[in-house]
Structure 1
Amino acid sequence: MGWSFRVARVSNIDIKIHATFFLIVLLFAFQWGVANGLAGAAFGSLLIILLFACVTLHELGHSITAQRFGIDVREIVLLPLGGVAILSRNPAKPMQDLLIAAAGPLVNVVIAIMLAVVLALTGDLSMLGASAMVQGIDAPLTWTTMLLWLLEANILLVIFNLIPAFPLDGGRILRAVLAMFIGQRRATRIASVVGQGFALLMGLYALLTLQFLLLLIAVFIFFGAGRENVEEQASTVLSTQRVGDAYNKYVLTLTIGDRISKVLDYILTSYQPDFAVLQGNRLLGIVTRDDVLNTLARSPNDSNILDVYVTTVMRREVVRVDANATLDEVRTVMGEQSARVVAVYEGETYLGLINQDDLAEAFTVLSFMERFRRRPPSGTTASAAEVAQDTQ
C-alpha cells in the first residue's frame, strides 16, 4: 500500500504504518494535552500507540491463521481507523474463512483477560468497576487508567468486530456459515447486503448524534461490503475460463537486437503495456511500458538513450502459468507473486502474456456472456429453475 513504511516484520509479514496514522496520534495527544498539559499529551500518545499494538496483534491473529492454511500474507498496514491484513487470496473453504475471521477477535479476548488479571493482581480493585472511557480525558493519568482503557478497548474491539456486517470479522463469519449451506456466491451476496444494511443504520445514527468518526466507519463498511461482493463475483466468473483461451494472441513482440526507440514506436501505435522479448519461440524476458518511460525520465539529457538495447531494461524473471489454469487461478498467482503480468505456457512452449488489465476486461466480457446465457430468448418464458438460478 502506498504512503506506508515498514516498522517490523513478524512471521515473514511486513507490518507497515500508513502516513495518515500519525493523525490519530496527534489527535489523542491534542485532546489529552489540552486538559492535562504536556504529561497529558504524552499519556494520550502512549495510549493510542498501545491501542494500535493490540490492533496489530488482532491482525496477526488473522494473518498467522491464514498462513496455516497456505495463504501468503503480503503485509499488515495500520491506518487511522484500524488495521488491515492483505492476503494474497481468499480462503478456499468456508471453514478456513471462519477460523481466519474468528482468530482476530479471539486475540483481543485473550488480551482483555490478561489485562483484567493484571488489574486484579496489581491495580486498585475499586477501579475495576469504573470506566476509563466514560471519564475520558478527565481520568487520572495513572497506569491503572491506561490498563483500564486498554481493557475496555479490547472488549469493544471484540464486540464491534463480531457485528455481522461484511467486511467486519462478524460478517465474514456469517458468510462462512452461510456458505456451508448455500454456496460461497450466494453467501457473499447475503452477507454484503446485511453489511450494507448495518452500515446505513450506523450512518443514520452517526448523523443524528453528530458522531463523524462513526459516520466515517459506516462509509467504510458500506463500500467494503460492496467491494467484497464484486470480488466474489469476479472469482466465480473468472474460474469459468482457461487462460489458454483468453490471453491476447495478437500482440507486438521484441527481439534481443531491438532498441528502446522501437519500444517507443510500439507504445505510440498500440495500447499494449507489456512486450515479450523473444529469441525464436523462446521467451527471454519482458519489457514494460512503465520501465521504458522511467528509464527515459531518469536520462532526460542522454541523446543516446534511444539506441540502448531493450535487454538493458528487460525483466528476466517472469512468472509462469499453465495454459490450463483458470483466470481466477492466474489472478491468485498474480497476487501471491505481486506480478502485474505473467507468461502463459503449454508445457515448455511459450504462448503469450496476460496482465491485470486483460483480466479486468475478461471479467467484463464473461459477466455479460453469463448474463445473456441466463436470459431467455425473445418471446419465451424462463423456467422456474432458470429464474431461481438467476437470483443466486
Structure 2
Amino acid sequence: MNFKSIPLFKVFGIQVNLDFSWFIVFFLITFTLAEAFYPYYYPGHSFLVYLFVGAISAILLFASVLLHELSHSIVAIKHGIPVREIDLFIFGGVAMIEEEAPSPKVEFLVAIAGPLCSFALAFLFFILAYFYPQNDLLNGIINYLMYVNLALGLFNLVPAFPLDGGRILRSIIWAKKDIITATKVSSWTGTMFAYFLMLLGLLSLIQGSFINALWYGFLGLFLKNAAKVSFEQTKLSVILSQYKVEQFMHTIKPVLPDETISEFMLHHYPMYNTRIFPVIGKDGKIYVVDIFDIKSIPQTQWDTIKVADIAKPLVAYVSPYDTLMKALKLMNRYQLNELPVIYGNTVLGIIKRDVIESLLERYMLQEKFGR
C-alpha cells in the first residue's frame, strides 16, 4: 500500500511534506532517548517525563533537518533553480530541486549550504549550553541538539554522492571535466560508502547489536540505490536539456468553444494522433478535452453537447523554448502523457511522452553499442 506524504506548510514558497516513514524514526528516537540517554545523564525523573522530553528532542532534530534542507533550497532558488518541495522521511530530509545546477560554482554553493547551516546550529546550541550550564533536562536537550547537528553536518560532508560532500566532490571534478564524468566518479564513491555502511551493519550484527545492524544496513542500501538513481537522473537531465520542446512537438490547432462533439470528431480529431486537445474557452482561457471523456458519452448526444462543456482546466503546459527535461518532469509530476505547448496565450501544439522516451532509447542504444 502506497501512502501519500502529509503536506505540512509552505515556507519561502516551498511545500514541506511529512512522509509516513518519518513516524518510524520519530518513535525510535523518542524511546531511545527516553530509555537510555536522558535517564543515564539526567536521572531522577519519571519515564513519562523522559518520554515527553525525548519527543520534543526528536521534533527539534527534524526541525534542524528542515533548516538544513531549506538552506540548500534558498541558495538554489537564489541562483534560479526551482525547488518544488521538501520531504521529511525516515533518513532525514530531501529538497526536491527541479534542475541540475548550471555551473560547478552553483553546485558547490548549493551543496555546502546545508552542512554550513548544521554547523551554525551546532555552534548556536554550544553557546546556549555554555550560558545554561545547569544539569537538568533543558540542558540535555541543548546538548543533544548540539551533537546531532554537528553529526549531521559531518555526515553530509562525506564525499559520497548524493550526500552533500558527494555533490561538493562532483562540483570540483566538474570544474575540470564534464558533469557526466563528475557524477560518475562521485556516484562511485557513494556506492563504496554504502557498502562500507552495510559492512558496519554486518559487524554490528555479529557483535549482537541488532538495532545498529538494521540502521547501518538500511542506510547503506538507501545510499547505494540513491547513488545509482542520481547518476541515471543526471544522464537523463543532460541529454534532455540539450533539446527544446519546439523541436519535437506535434503542431495542433485549438478547438473552438462552439464546436459540438460531432463536429470535433468529424473535422478535428481525425487530423491529429493525440489524446488531449486544447480548447479555447468562451472566457478566452485555454482548457483541454480528453478523447477518453468524449468516448464515454453516447453518440446520440454528440450533436447537442459542445466540446467546451466537457473541457477541463489546464493542469500543466510548456512553452516551445522549454527543454524536454522540463516537459518530462511536468509529465511525471502530474502523471500525464501529453502536454499542450503554449506561447503567451497561443496554442502551438502537443509534446508527447513517447517522443521523449524514444529519444532516450536511441541514446541508450548508442551508448550500449559505443556509437
TM-score (norm 1): 0.74
Residues 354-365 of structure 1 aligned to structure 2 (within 5 Å)? 354-365=351-362
Matched, 1:319 2:317: yes
Matched, 1:230 2:240: no
**d(CA) in 2 for partners of 1:226, 1:320:** 29
Partner of 1:213: 215
Q: Give 1:271 shift.
A: 9.6
**d(CA) in 1 for partners of 2:334, 2:200:** 40
Q: Give 1:189 shift.
A: 0.9
Residues 32-71 of structure 1 aligned to structure 2 (within 5 Å)? 32=33, 37-71=47-81
**d(CA) in 1 for partners of 2:313, 2:365:** 35
Partner of 1:122: 132
Runs (5+) with no aligned partner, structure 2: 37-45, 206-212
Residues 233-252 of structure 1 aligned to structure 2 (within 5 Å)? 233-248=235-250
- Structure 1 residues 20-50: Cα deviation after superposition (integer angstroms, max 9, x where no partner): 3222222334445557521122121111001
**d(CA) in 2 for partners of 1:156, 1:39:** 26
Decide whether aligned partners of structure 1 residues 355 and 46 sit closer, same or farther in structure 2, where only a CA change above 3 A counts: farther
Partner of 1:10: 11
**d(CA) in 2 for partners of 1:87, 1:79:** 16
Decide whether aligned partners of structure 1 residues 123 and 346 sit closer, same or farther in structure 2, where only a CA change above 3 A counts: closer
**d(CA) in 1 for partners of 2:344, 2:91:** 47
Residues 183-202 of structure 1 aligned to structure 2 (within 5 Å)? 183-202=178-197
- Structure 1 residues 154-205: Cα deviation after superposition (integer angstroms, max 9, x where no partner): 1110111001111100000000110000111110111111111111121122
| Percent of pairs with identical residues | 27
Contact between 1:166 and 1:191, CA under 8 Å: does it hold in 2? Answer: yes
CA RMSD in angstroms comes to: 3.9
- Structure 1 residues 321-361: Cα deviation after superposition (integer angstroms, max 9, x where no partner): 12x554235447x3899694433368987442114454334
- Structure 1 residues 287-325: Cα deviation after superposition (integer angstroms, max 9, x where no partner): 3479x49xx8xx9xxx98997544233234753412x55
Which amino acid in the other structure matches residue 177 of structure 1? I
Contact between 1:283 and 1:350, CA under 8 Å: does it hold in 2? Answer: no
Matched, 1:113 2:111: no
Q: Secondary structure at the match of 2:350?
A: strand
Number of paired residues? Answer: 341
Q: Secondary structure at the match of 1:71?
A: coil
Q: Give 1:228 shift.
A: 1.2
Q: Secondary structure at the match of 1:109?
A: helix
Decide whether aligned partners of structure 1 residues 283 and 12 sit closer, same or farther in structure 2, where only a CA change above 3 A counts: closer
**d(CA) in 1 for partners of 2:50, 2:343:** 65
Decide whether aligned partners of structure 1 residues 272 and 345 sit closer, same or farther in structure 2, where only a CA change above 3 A counts: closer
Contact between 2:82 and 2:97, CA under 8 Å: does it hold in 1? Answer: yes
Q: Give 1:100 shift.
A: 0.5
Decide whether aligned partners of structure 1 residues 42 and 171 sit closer, same or farther in structure 2, where only a CA change above 3 A counts: same
Q: Give 1:226 shift.
A: 0.8
Partner of 1:176: 171
Partner of 2:365: 368
Q: Secondary structure at the match of 2:313?
A: coil
Residues 339-350 of structure 1 aligned to structure 2 (within 5 Å)? 340=336, 341-344=338-341, 350=347
**d(CA) in 1 for partners of 2:78, 2:332:** 15
Work out which of the residue numbers 77, 91, 97 in structure 2 matches 1:81.
Answer: 91
Partner of 2:107: 97
Decide whether aligned partners of structure 1 residues 44 and 356 sit closer, same or farther in structure 2, where only a CA change above 3 A counts: farther
Partner of 1:21: 22
Q: Give 1:254 shift.
A: 6.2
Q: Give 1:144 shift.
A: 1.4
Contact between 1:73 and 1:87, CA under 8 Å: does it hold in 2? Answer: yes
Select between 35-44 and 219-228 the one with higher mean Cα deviation: 35-44
Contact between 2:340 and 2:350, CA under 8 Å: does it hold in 1? Answer: yes
Q: Give 1:116 shift.
A: 0.7
Select between 40-49 and 165-174 the one with higher mean Cα deviation: 40-49
Contact between 1:63 and 1:100, CA under 8 Å: does it hold in 2? Answer: yes
Decide whether aligned partners of structure 1 residues 357 and 118 sit closer, same or farther in structure 2, where only a CA change above 3 A counts: farther
